[in-house]
A and B are shown apart, each in its own frame.
Chain A
Amino acid sequence: MRELAKKRLQGNFQQSAKYLALVFNDFFVLALIFIFGAVMFWYAQVMKVLPVKAWYYPLVLSALLWLAYLPGKLVTLLQTADRQFLLATDDRLDDYLAPMRRYSLVLPALLLALAGGIMYPFASLKMGLSNLNYFSLVLALFFAKVFEQGAVSRSLTFDHRVKQVTWLIRLVLLALLLASLYFLPNALYLLLALAVIAVLALQAWKNSAFDWQYAIDYEARRKETVYAGFALFTDVKERQVNIKRRKYLDFLLPPFGKESPNSFLYRRTLLRDPEYLNLLARMTAFAVLLTAMIQDPVWSLLLSGLVMYLTVWQLLPLGQKYDQNIMYRVYPIAQKERGQEVSRVLAWALLLQTGLIIIFWLAIVPGQFAWSLLLLVWCGLLAKGYLPYKTQQLAKKSRYKKRKK
């Protein structure tokens, strides 16, 4: 079991490294450096003017360190097939979970070190905490995480109490943090001692009956969160898409018989597949937010126009969604007009987005009617010029790929 765990951890590490390399691309790293630099500059300026030992400092420090403590769920890397192949290994599960628990602590340790480092000047200069006390505090948070993940790994039983156990630990920790910082600022090693005792006490907490399905689902949800993060930057092929019916959006569908099989399929996919609908909603919300923040018609027009272009550009893969679906290829669905049909569906989505942006635009910054017309013109250019050209190109490429097979 230990070997299996090691092998899976290695695979997971390689997969994460692959996606992290894509996430932390040159532009994103540059942006991060700028943002981090700006925040640190602001922090340095604020530190110069902040008074010493204000009553709310323990509250601020507790909240920030507690927030840094939260991320980092237990990684188990259990797979659906384990329900079948590892079912008889309950008694050796701890051999498998021990390296998993250690691996799960890497991210929290890094985050706590980062948050602890950033907050150190505040804690020592403004709150007057000694180095020993502050170090004990950060270390106590780390041991609390060790305890939390140990408790979670022992709660993957038929009681299904992982969520309750996790939040109970987190809330108790927040209360202890506040109490220690307010009442025992010179004896924070007591908090550390308490956390270490809790970790040692874990040894007495034995798993009763491991619930494989529950544990597998728990891991699947964790992975989905990670993949969703990666998916903001790149395509994640491992991601499982959870389709929802979304009946409330049916009013956007034309009556039966008024569309071709391709349009029928693409329109429903756009409205029900979260990959496409979330993208459309996210980008529309982003454009509205930009407008609200900028309050300048020219910049709003330019940035909203850019968001619209990026939206349709990211929605283009919709046209290839069913290329590998055997029933789509067997059904007598005309392929010749497919490019135009995808283009029409995307143009419809674009018009929907433009309409929503304009409504919010007029509501937030009244008197922008002329600018709204310009946005509509841009929508028309994208719908009638860019989209037909791109979708036709992609449809040809897809047919060529099929012929090569």
Chain B
Amino acid sequence: MTLEISHLTGGYSGIPVIKDVNLTIASGEAIGLIGLNGAGKSTTIKHLLGLLRPQAGKITLNGINLAEKPAEFKKLVAYIPETPVIYPELTLKEHLELTILAYQLDPDKAWEKARKLLTMFRLADKFDWLPVHFSKGMQQKVMIVAAFLTDAQLLVIDEPFTGLDPLAVANFIGLIKEAQESGKEILMTTHVLADAQKAIKTYAILNQGTIEFTGSLDEIRGHYGLEASDSFDKLYQLLYQEQKNA
């Protein structure tokens, strides 16, 4: 049960944004992908979801190659986008029904789980509403509920904290911890390290399309020569300096 990204090079219209990215996430492991805007985080995620075709390298999950068996691969992946993507025509209930149909979940078990998630995120009374009319934070909760409903092996989470209230953030972190304990793999991009480090211990630093370093926050401090008293913002300044000097 492992996600393996090997020698991945890719981007848009033949221009490589990420270069020779290598990353392995083992069962029960969560990795935070951090870097400046434009470093290649979203591009990496798009490749991982099969939305872009790699120029080189491969992505496998449990030995299933994304390029060869995209349908099988996708059944093992759930995604929470940075900006909620809602079907304007579907109610909250129907978003969950579609998820059950698409991932071929057992309806009884899925509804039991859905009810818990909806209660947790205070959406139970909005069951028959159109989420397109929800606030951004509430739409993000719909994306979280749908993703955790799937029981997918790999959770790909893109900058999830924007718009969520503190209660929802705490619940979301709890869910990530639970997912780790049940042996799932998690890849999450974020700038909000204060929240992320409650659930994620390992981080990969992506800079100029390349993973520069992977390790715990303490190891990252050591690698970049940061003092214990230094704010983590200093890391971003260092990455920016590297970009300028490149």
Interface residues of A (CB under 8 A from B): 241, 243, 245, 247, 256-257, 259-261, 264-265, 268-269, 271-273, 322, 325-334, 405
Give the residues in chain B near A261, CB-CB below 8 Å. Answer: 98, 101-102
Q: How far is the CB of B44 from chain A (nearest CB, A)?
A: 15
Tell me, in angstroms, the Cα distance from A268 to B87 when the chains sit together: 10
Q: Are B71 and A332 in contact (CB-based, < 8 A)?
A: yes
Binary contact track B71-93/A, C-beta < 8 Å → 1, others 0? 10011010101000101111100
Q: Are A273 and B89 in contact (CB-based, < 8 A)?
A: yes
B94 at the interface (CB under 8 A from A): yes
In this complex, what residue of B is CB-closest to A326?
B85
Q: Are A332 and B90 in contact (CB-based, < 8 A)?
A: no
Give the residues in chain A near B98, CB-CB below 8 Å. Answer: 261, 264-265, 331
Tell me, in angstroms, the Cα distance from A247 to B89 when the chains sit together: 12
Give the residues in chain A near B101, CB-CB below 8 Å. Answer: 257, 259-261, 264
Tell me, in angstroms, the Cα distance from A327 to B102 when the chains sit together: 11
Q: Are B107 and A243 in contact (CB-based, < 8 A)?
A: no
Give the residues in chain B near A326, CB-CB below 8 Å. Answer: 49, 51, 81, 85
Give the residues in chain A near B81, CB-CB below 8 Å. Answer: 326-327
Q: Are A265 and B97 in contact (CB-based, < 8 A)?
A: no
Tell me, in angstroms, the Cα distance from A264 to B99 when the chains sit together: 11
Count of interface residues, chain B, beta-carbon cutoff 8 Å = 28
Q: Select one of A268, A273, A325 contacting B94, CB under 8 A.
A: A268
Tell me, in angstroms, the Cα distance from A241 to B87 when the chains sit together: 12
In this complex, what residue of A is CB-closest to B79?
A330
B120 at the interface (CB under 8 A from A): no
In this complex, what residue of A is CB-closest to B143?
A327
In this complex, what residue of B is CB-closest to A403?
B53
Q: How far is the CB of A190 from chain B (nearest CB, A)?
A: 52
Q: Are A331 and B74 in contact (CB-based, < 8 A)?
A: yes
Give the residues in chain B near A265, CB-CB below 8 Å. Answer: 87, 89-90, 98
Q: Are A329 and B51 in contact (CB-based, < 8 A)?
A: yes
In this complex, what residue of B is CB-closest to A335?
B71
Q: How far is the CB of A114 from chain B (nearest CB, A)?
A: 40
Tell me, in angstroms, the Cα distance from A257 to B108 when the chains sit together: 12
Q: Are B51 and A332 in contact (CB-based, < 8 A)?
A: no
Q: Are A241 and B51 in contact (CB-based, < 8 A)?
A: no
B130 at the interface (CB under 8 A from A): yes
Q: Are B130 and A243 in contact (CB-based, < 8 A)?
A: yes
List 29 A–B pairs whose Cβ atoms lie within 8 Å, in order of A's numbering. Answer: A243-B88, A245-B130, A256-B97, A256-B107, A257-B107, A259-B101, A261-B98, A261-B102, A264-B101, A265-B87, A268-B89, A268-B90, A271-B89, A272-B88, A322-B87, A325-B85, A325-B87, A327-B85, A327-B87, A329-B49, A329-B51, A330-B74, A330-B77, A331-B98, A331-B102, A331-B103, A332-B75, A333-B102, A405-B53
B132 at the interface (CB under 8 A from A): yes
Q: How far is the CB of A352 from chain B (nearest CB, A)?
A: 17
Q: Are A273 and B103 in contact (CB-based, < 8 A)?
A: no
| Shortest Cβ-Cβ A-B pairs, 3 listed | A332-B74, A272-B89, A243-B88
Q: How far is the CB of A336 from chain B (nearest CB, A)?
A: 9
Q: Which of B51, B79, B102, B107 has the most CB of A within 10 A?
A: B102
Q: Are A273 and B75 in contact (CB-based, < 8 A)?
A: no
Q: Which of A269, A271, A331 has the most CB of B within 10 A?
A: A331
Tell me, in angstroms, the Cα distance from A334 to B101 when the chains sit together: 11
Q: How far is the CB of B74 from chain A (nearest CB, A)?
A: 4
Give the residues in chain A near B128, CB-CB below 8 Å. Answer: 245, 247
Given A272-B89, A330-B74, A334-B71, 15 new contacts (CB under 8 A): A243-B88, A245-B128, A247-B128, A257-B101, A261-B98, A261-B102, A264-B94, A326-B81, A327-B81, A327-B85, A329-B50, A330-B50, A330-B51, A332-B71, A332-B75
Q: Are B102 and A332 in contact (CB-based, < 8 A)?
A: yes
Q: Are A269 and B74 in contact (CB-based, < 8 A)?
A: no
Give the residues in chain A near B107, CB-CB below 8 Å. Answer: 256-257
Q: Are A241 and B88 in contact (CB-based, < 8 A)?
A: yes
In this complex, what residue of B is CB-closest to A267?
B89
Contacts A261-B102, A330-B49, A334-B71; A243 near B89 (Cβ below 8 A):
yes
Tell me, in angstroms, the Cα distance from A247 to B53 when the chains sit together: 41
Give the residues in chain A near B99, CB-CB below 8 Å. Answer: 331
